[in-house]
């Protein structure tokens, strides 16, 4: 378990009360975004391609997409099948486009007591492996908070256990 000396505590990001990131992850300046989009990026000090990103798109989903997201999260934890994944295209954004993203897994899991949607795959343009976590922020399904872990394919296996442990230790603001 990470202690205060071995972790940076990140607080108050959307529905996350707190999460402990290893000290090796340093906060990087925001990328160019508009007023409504929220991005905080922490990348590994030894390999900046290894990163943990907090993201909010700054706008709500249309009602039909929000309802699809809620239906998916209402089910027991499961692997998301192709038809169901197709209904989540606006939730997972560009990860739904096979021209941009090679999907390896989409599923729901309970992370630190909260059900979330997880999408894993590889971005074609960058070759980075993605582990994306999509969270219903307010119970409507329309406000989606995102956490993304990205790493080069050759490094992904070295970090995935650490990322899984981080996600199991999130302190949420509400259930």
How many Cβ atoms sit within 10 Å of the Cβ of residue 150?
Answer: 20
Quick one: pLDDT band at residue 3, thresholds 50, 70, 90? Answer: very low
1 found inside a domain? no
Q: What does the pLDDT look like over 40-83, one tens digit per residue?
A: 899 999 999 999 999 999 899 999 999 999 999 999 999 999 99
Q: pLDDT value at position 33?
A: 62
Which pair of tokens denotes residue 120?
Answer: 């894993």
33 found inside a domain? yes
Q: What does the pLDDT look like over 125-174, one tens digit per residue?
A: 999 999 999 999 999 999 999 999 999 999 999 999 988 888 988 999 97
Domain of residue 93, residue span: 7-172
Q: In sequence order, what are the beta bridge partners of 88?
A: none
165 found inside a domain? yes
57 found inside a domain? yes
Check which CATH number belongs to the domain holding 38 and give it. Answer: 3.40.1000.10
In angstroms, the CA 139 to CA 127 distance is 34
For the chain, what is the domain count? Answer: 1
Kindly report the three-state secondary structure assignment for every residue of 80-103: CCHHHHHCCHHHHHHHHCCCCEEE
Q: pLDDT value at position 55?
A: 92
56 found inside a domain? yes
């Amino acid at each position: 378990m990470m202690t205060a000396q071995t972790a940076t505590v990140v607080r108050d990001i959307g529905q996350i009360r707190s999460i402990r990131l290893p000290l090796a992850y340093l906060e990087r300046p925001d990328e160019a975004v508009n007023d409504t989009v929220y991005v905080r990026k922490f990348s590994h000090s030894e390999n900046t391609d290894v990163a943990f990103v907090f993201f909010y798109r700054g706008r709500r989903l249309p009602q039909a997409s929000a309802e699809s997201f809620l239906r998916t999260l209402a089910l027991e934890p499961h692997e998301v099948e192709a038809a169901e994944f197709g209904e989540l295209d606006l939730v997972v954004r560009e990860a739904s486009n096979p021209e941009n993203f090679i999907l390896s897994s989409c599923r729901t899991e309970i992370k630190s007591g909260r059900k979330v949607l997880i999408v894993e795959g590889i971005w074609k343009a960058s070759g980075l492996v993605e582990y994306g976590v999509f969270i219903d922020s307010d119970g409507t399904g329309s406000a989606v908070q995102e956490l993304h872990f990205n790493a080069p394919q050759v490094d992904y296996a070295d970090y995935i256990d650490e990322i899984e442990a981080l996600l199991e230790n999130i302190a949420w603001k509400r259930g």
